[in-house]
Amino acid sequence: METEKLNWLEKRLQTLDEYEREPVPEKKLKGWRGFLGMYAGEHTAGTEFVIGALFVAHGVSFMDLVIGLIIGNLLAVFSWAFLCAPVAVKTKLTLYWQLKKICGDHLASLYNVVNAIMFCFLAGAMIAVAATAVGLPFQIPMPGLDDLFPTSIGWILTVFFVGTIITIIAIAGYEYVARFANISFPWMFLVFVAAAIAVLPSLGVESVSGFTTAANEQIWTGVAAEGLTQFTVWHVIFFAWFANMAMHIGMSDMSILRYAKKWQYGFASAAGMFFGHFIAWMASGVLMAAAAGAVAPGLIAYNSAGIAGAICVVIAGWTTANPTIYRAGLAFQSVTPNWKRWKVTLFTGFFTTVIACFPALVMNLLDFVALYGLVLMPMGAVVLLDVLFFKKFNLIPNYAEQVGIKFNWAAAITWFFTLGFCLFLNLYAGIEIFFLGLPGWFVAVGVYIGMSYLIHTKSIKKTEKIEHTEQS
pLDDT of residue 134: 76
Of 196-210, 224-238, 323-337, 368-382, the one with minimum mean pLDDT is: 323-337
DSSP class of residue 278 equals I
pLDDT higher than 90, residue 373: no
pLDDT higher than 90, residue 160: no
Average per-residue pLDDT for the chain: 81
221 phi/psi in degrees, rounded to 5 = -85, -15
CA dihedral (388, 393, 397, 400) in degrees, to 10, reads -140
Residue 107 CA neighbour count, 13 Å, CB half:
24
pLDDT higher than 90, residue 355: no
pLDDT higher than 60, residue 425: yes
pLDDT of residue 328: 73
DSSP class of residue 94 equals -
Q: pLDDT tens digits, residue range 280-292?
A: 889 888 887 777 6
Long-range contacts of 263-267 (CB under 8 A, 24+ apart): 263/81, 263/85, 263/86, 263/88, 263/89, 263/90, 264/81, 264/85, 265/31, 265/32, 265/35, 265/85, 265/89, 266/77, 266/80, 266/81, 266/82, 266/84, 266/85, 266/86, 267/77, 267/80, 267/81
What mean pLDDT is predicted for residues 224-247?
Answer: 89
Q: How many secondary structure helices (H) and strands (E) does the chain include?
A: 21, 0
247 phi/psi in degrees, rounded to 5 = -75, -45
What mean pLDDT is predicted for residues 335-351?
Answer: 73
Of 117-121, 162-166, 170-174, 438-442, the one with minimum mean pLDDT is: 170-174
Which of these, 229, 232, 235, lies nearest to 436 by C-alpha position? 235
Task: Name the band, by pLDDT with cuts 50, 70 and 90, for residue 114.
Answer: confident
Kind and range of the H or E element at 70?
Answer: helix 62-79
| Residue 434 backbone class (left: φ over 0; alpha: ψ -120 to 50; beta: rest) | alpha
Which of these, 40, 329, 297, lies nearest to 170 by C-alpha position? 329
CATH number, domain 26-374, options 1.10.357.10, 1.10.4160.10, 1.10.3210.10, 3.40.50.300: 1.10.4160.10
Burial of 293 (0-12, 13-18, 19+ CB in 10 A): exposed
Task: Name the band, by pLDDT with cuts 50, 70 and 90, for residue 384.
Answer: very high
| pLDDT winner (highest mean) among 10-24, 216-230, 394-408 | 394-408
pLDDT higher than 80, residue 391: yes
Q: 92, 24 in Cβ contact below 8 A?
A: yes
pLDDT higher than 60, residue 320: yes
Task: Name the band, by pLDDT with cuts 50, 70 and 90, for residue 467.
Answer: very low
What mean pLDDT is predicted for residues 383-399?
Answer: 93
Q: pLDDT tens digits, residue range 28-85?
A: 888 887 788 778 877 876 667 778 888 888 889 999 999 999 999 999 999 999 999 9
Q: Is the pTM of this model over 0.75?
A: yes
pLDDT higher than 60, residue 145: no
What mean pLDDT is predicted for residues 2-22?
Answer: 50
pLDDT of residue 334: 64
pLDDT of residue 446: 96
pLDDT of residue 57: 84
Task: Name the band, by pLDDT with cuts 50, 70 and 90, for residue 115.
Answer: confident
Q: Which residues, in sequence order, are CB contacts of 142 under 8 Å at separation 6+?
A: 132, 135, 151, 155, 295, 296, 298, 299
pLDDT of residue 381: 96
Give dist(CA 472, CA 423) in Å, integer. Answer: 52
What mean pLDDT is predicted for residues 457-464?
Answer: 63
Q: Which residues, in sequence order, are CB contacts of 200 under 8 Å at separation 6+?
A: 211, 214, 286, 290
pLDDT higher than 60, residue 343: yes
pLDDT of residue 389: 94
Task: Name the band, by pLDDT with cuts 50, 70 and 90, for residue 184.
Answer: low
Q: Which residues, in sequence order, are CB contacts of 79 under 8 Å at separation 6+?
A: 241, 245, 248, 249
pLDDT higher than 80, residue 440: yes
Which of these, 263, 238, 262, lies nearest to 84 by C-alpha position? 263
Residue with the bigger pLDDT between 145 and 405: it is 405
Give dist(CA 3, CA 330) in Å, integer. Answer: 29
Which of these, 303, 316, 296, lies nearest to 359 by C-alpha position? 296
* Largest CA-CA distance found in the chain, in angstroms, rounded: 90
Residue percentage of the chain with pLDDT more than 90: 29
Domain spans, the chain: 26-374
